């Protein structure tokens, strides 16, 4: 059985605010690169293509906008969807698209969507948790056109996120979600929701009848108010530990997965990592991932996954003692991430610039032998 978690950062559409935030974080680097290319007297075709990509990223042009939209007014808000050809024979994410999207969302680059599918297909997980999904319709269309109906069961729940990002669980034939529970209505002492998005519980039966429990969550970063963000993360971590301890009776089979946005050594995660028996799969001796190229292959960055894998750890797959002992193989797939300068690693050949990136997050997986 393979379990995987992937922060897909939306499938077809993403809120403009989130795109703007990403652009602001990288704007200075892009301007510097664009100016360097502008000052060159002779440029290669590859450099001209890079300038076109940078002009789009910097807002000089915006190829994300499509002139073919249908609009609808619903409950006081405007929504849109892309028009599709009626008699098209080529399966794309636009074929038979029925999902409506708020007008403040931007369509994700077509190549990026295809790359999301490639990463998921490579993992071939039996149980897949997808974070930051815009809606159930997107999940169904994505499975149909980009995953070749690989998953027979798909569930989606909305969360507390103001940008409409939810969590989806997909399982292959023989793996069935028996029950599902949301913690969106867990409140702190001041009456505020504990979770930025949610903590969701799934009890999933395997083909041999074994029951596995998966807890999924996603913490959000607030770079404007880091102190407030840290407090929120600590509160969420404590609540996850409480729920986990309640479920972990008689040496249960439990996985806690998701994006926590802080490194494993952080005291903010001490309630989960340290005060419970949960073990991070990246610390397992089987954990494999393509190493960085050049000097970075011999370097260890504090807070990274391991030596030679120098990206900040934000995504976790943590296992109870019994599940950790059942690990046969494990690893991380990051070839869908665009690197800026250093470190560098193997990317999908279809990624030519940032807009083609599948996600800013890697997919983390583990193969388990249970039953």
User: What is the tens place of the pLDDT at every residue in 316-352?
Assistant: 999 999 999 999 999 999 999 988 666 688 999 999 8
- Residue 60 has a pLDDT of 65
What pLDDT does residue 34 have? 73
Asked if pLDDT for residue 52 goes beyond 90, the answer is: no
Mean pLDDT (whole number) for 170-196: 95
Judge whether 197 lies within some domain: yes
Torsion sign over Cα 14, 256, 259, 285: negative
Residue 101: the pLDDT is 57
- Rg, Å, the chain Cα set: 21
Quick one: three-class SS letters along 305-366?
A: EECCEEEECCEEEEECHHHHHCEEEEEEECCCCCCCCCCCCCCCCCCCCHHHCCCCCCEEEE
In a domain, 136, yes or no: yes
pLDDT computed for residue 89 by the predictor: 41
Any idea which of 38-47, 174-183, 317-326, 348-357 has the lowest mean pLDDT?
38-47
Helix (H, G, I), strand (E, B) or coil at 257: strand
pLDDT of residue 85: 45
CA distance 269 to 282: 16
What pLDDT score was predicted for residue 82?
54
pLDDT of 98-148, one tens digit each? 555 556 777 888 999 999 999 999 999 999 999 999 999 999 999 999 999
158 part of a folded domain: yes
Question: What is the CATH classification number for the domain harbouring 162?
Answer: 3.60.10.10
Flag whether 207 is in a domain. Answer: yes
Is 41 part of a structural domain of the chain?
no
Residue 143 lies in a domain: yes
The answer to whether residues 77 and 100 touch, using CB atoms and an 8 Å cutoff, is: no
C-alpha closest to that of 114 among 302, 359, 299: 359
Relative orientation angle of helices 16-38 and 45-57, to the nearest 10 degrees: 140
Q: Is the pLDDT of residue 232 over 60?
A: yes
**pLDDT value at residue 342:** 65
What residues does 167 pair with on adjacent strands?
A: 131, 157
Lowest mean pLDDT, pick from 31-35, 43-47, 342-346: 31-35
Residue-range definition of the domain harbouring residue 227: 2-13+108-368
The single residue listed with the structure tokens 């102190």 is 227
Percentage above 90 pLDDT, the chain: 56
In the chain, the number of structural domains is 1
Report residue 236's pLDDT band, with 50, 70 and 90 as the boundaries. very high
pLDDT, residue 296, reads 75
pTM value is 0.81
The two structure tokens encoding residue 260 = 């926590």
Cα-flanking dihedrals φ and ψ of residue 15, to 5°?
Answer: -60, 140
What's the mean pLDDT when you consider all of the chain?
Answer: 85
Residue 25 included in any domain: no
Each residue's pLDDT tens digit, 72-102:
544 445 566 555 444 444 444 444 445 555 5
DSSP annotation of 272: T
User: Per mean pLDDT, which of 15-29, 46-60, 69-83 is the most reliable?
Assistant: 46-60
Q: Is residue 68 part of a domain?
A: no
- Give pLDDT tens digits for 256-290: 999 999 988 899 999 999 899 999 999 999 999 98
């Amino acid at each position: 059985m393979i379990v995987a978690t992937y922060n897909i950062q939306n499938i077809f559409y993403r809120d403009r605010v989130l795109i703007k935030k990403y652009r602001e974080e990288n704007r200075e680097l892009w301007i510097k690169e664009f100016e360097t290319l502008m000052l060159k007297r002779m440029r290669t075709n590859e450099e001209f293509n890079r300038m076109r990509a940078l002009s789009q990223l910097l807002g000089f042009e915006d190829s994300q906008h499509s002139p073919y939209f249908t609009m609808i007014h619903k409950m006081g808000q405007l929504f849109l969807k892309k028009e599709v050809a009626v008699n098209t024979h080529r399966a794309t994410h636009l074929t038979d698209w029925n999902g409506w999207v708020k007008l403040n969302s931007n369509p994700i680059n077509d190549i990026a969507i295809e790359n999301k599918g490639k990463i998921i297909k490579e993992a071939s997980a039996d149980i897949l948790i997808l974070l930051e999904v815009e809606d159930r319709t997107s999940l169904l269309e994505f499975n149909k056109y980009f995953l070749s109906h690989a998953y027979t069961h798909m569930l989606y729940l909305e969360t507390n996120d103001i940008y409409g990002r939810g969590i989806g669980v997909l399982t292959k034939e023989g793996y069935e979600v028996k029950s599902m529970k949301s913690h969106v209505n867990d409140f702190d002492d001041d009456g505020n929701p504990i979770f930025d998005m949610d903590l969701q519980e799934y009890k999933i039966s395997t083909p041999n009848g074994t029951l596995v429990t998966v807890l999924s969550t996603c913490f959000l970063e607030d770079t404007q108010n880091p102190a407030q963000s840290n407090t929120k993360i600590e509160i969420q971590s404590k609540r996850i530990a409480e729920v986990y301890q309640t479920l972990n009776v008689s040496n249960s089979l439990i996985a806690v997965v998701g994006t926590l946005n802080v490194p494993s050594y952080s005291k903010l995660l001490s309630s989960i990592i340290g005060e419970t028996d949960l073990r991070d799969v990246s610390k397992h001796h089987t954990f494999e991932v393509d190493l960085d190229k050049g000097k970075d292959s011999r370097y260890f960055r504090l807070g990274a996954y391991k030596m030679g894998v120098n990206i900040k750890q934000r995504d976790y797959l943590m296992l109870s003692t019994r599940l950790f002992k059942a690990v046969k193989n494990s690893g991380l797939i990051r070839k869908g991430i665009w690197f800026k300068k250093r470190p560098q690693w193997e990317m999908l050949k279809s990624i030519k610039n940032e807009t083609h990136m599948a996600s800013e997050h890697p997919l983390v997986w583990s193969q388990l032998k249970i039953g």
